[in-house]
Amino acid sequence: MIVEYTSNNSGGKWWLTDDDWHALEAAGWKVEWAKDDTYYQSSKLLENDRWLGALATRATLECDSLESAVRSFEKHTGQDIQAKGCSCCGPPHSFWVEEPLLRRSL
């Protein structure tokens, strides 16, 4: 299965550092770098290979389960997926599993 992680600029800050994104990539995650994203390129908010300051905002991992992706994410970033973020922006971390005709989230 493929698990997608999306980052949210919750509370006015990106929760993942540049080192976190590189650690995910080294651990086998496919990081979608902002500089390579056509939407970000066309938004005119891409500056120095960053979109609103972030090197990336999403990544995917092919793995056996949603739980194994979450464990990998926490191990390689040191982040807590249960972090609340701010009440107006929502949680800083979201995980999605793409299945036929269904999208599950954690």
Q: Is the predicted pLDDT of residue 89 greater than 80, yes or no?
A: yes
Residue 57 · residue 63 · CB < 8 Å: no
Domain coordinates in residue numbering, the chain: 2-105
**In which region does residue 97 sit, left (phi positive, over 0), alpha (psi from -120 to 50) or beta (all else)?**
beta
Residue 51 · residue 57 · CB < 8 Å: yes
pLDDT digits (tens, 9 = 90+) for 51-66: 999 999 999 999 999 9
Q: Answer whether 0.75 is exceeded by the pTM.
A: yes
Q: Is the predicted pLDDT of residue 12 greater than 50, yes or no?
A: yes
Supply 79's token pair. 């982040």
Average pLDDT over residues 78-85: 89
